[in-house]
Amino acid sequence: MTADFVPGPLERVRRAARGVRPLRSTWQLLRALRAAMEDGRERNKRRVDLEFAAPDPWGYATSEVEQECFRHQVSVLDRDRNGRRFGDSCEIGCAEGFFTELLADRCESLLALELSGEALARARQLRNWDDRVRFAQWDLRTDPVPGQFDLIVLAGVLEYFDRRSALRAARDKVVAGLRPNGRLFLVTTRSPVAEESWWGQALPHGARINEYVGRHPSLRTVIAEGADWYVITMFERAQ
């Protein structure tokens, strides 16, 4: 490159991007560190109460993007069950019950658990549920797993665990609630900057959460898929 070279518009954008990306990573790291420091039961409860102050905060009932994610999740479940129903199942973080509807038809019995009382009330009123589906208010951080299950579903839940020790405790509790050969179905929202940054191993976000859960010695990966904004993993607990 000569001394009098004048970069064109595309080259200027590339140079700017190279400078911005480290800044984004640093900013995300500072946010992750702050979240880890504030992580805890009371913060989590306040957060979900605020989120569910109004119905359907994530647009599950109206967003085509969310509906497509639901369809992808269901396709993974259906491929794994191969025409059979899952046995005793548990959905941790059922929110207002939109995915619970899809899950219930694929399980012999389903216990739907939720931290938010407001969300849980809406889930119960969403439809006339049959006797195979039960609901309960429950906190993954503090409450014991209410039984042993053939399938546990965790979709959009572990992103709320910002401290690595809390994430590890949640992972170990959930795995302990699986029967031998039981399935753990995990869905996580991607966090591209954290996934590609050097600090992503220490403070797992996005797909790093699925990787961290998969390092549990009792789990093996059965299916791993995703899209540009989420990742899906089906694990099996060893006998």
Is 184 within a domain? yes
What CATH number is associated with residue 84? 3.40.50.150
Using CB atoms within 10 Å of the CB of residue 1, give its burial: 0 to 12 exposed, 13 to 18 middle, 19+ buried: exposed
Give percent of the chain with pLDDT exceeding 90: 72
pLDDT for 36 equals: 67
Q: Is residue 16 part of a domain?
A: no
Is pLDDT of 195 > 90?
A: no
Q: What is the pLDDT of residues 29-42, one digit of tens each?
A: 676 666 666 665 77
Residue 93: inside a domain? yes
17 pLDDT more than 80: no
Q: Give me the domain span that covers residue 221.
A: 37-237
Cβ atoms of residues 212 and 161 within 8 Å: no
For residue 3, is pLDDT > 60? no
Contacts of 227 (CB under 8 A, 6+ apart): 69, 72
Exposure string for 114-140, b = 16+ CB within 10 A, e = fewer: bbbebbbebbbeeeebeeebebeebeb
Is 5 within a domain?
no
The structure tokens 């010695």 sit at 217
Tell me what the mean pLDDT of segment 179-194 comes to.
94
Separation in Å, CA 148 to CA 164, 175, 182, 215: 25, 10, 9, 21
Whole-number CA gyration radius for the chain:
20
Contact between residue 51 and residue 57 where contact means Cβ atoms under 8 Å apart: yes
Mean pLDDT on 165-176: 96
**Arithmetic mean of pLDDT, 116-124:** 97
Residue 32 lies in a domain: no
| Greatest mean pLDDT range, 3-7, 14-18, 187-191, 204-208 | 187-191
Site of tokens 């694990």: 235
For residue 100, the model assigns a pLDDT of 98
Does a structural domain hold residue 229? Answer: yes
Q: What is the pLDDT of residue 161?
A: 92
Given this model, what pLDDT does residue 237 score?
A: 98
Is 72 a domain residue?
yes
CA-CA distance, 104 to 151, in Å (whole number)? 12
Number of domains in the chain: 1
Does some domain include residue 167?
Answer: yes
Residues 75-94 pLDDT 10s: 999 999 999 999 999 999 99
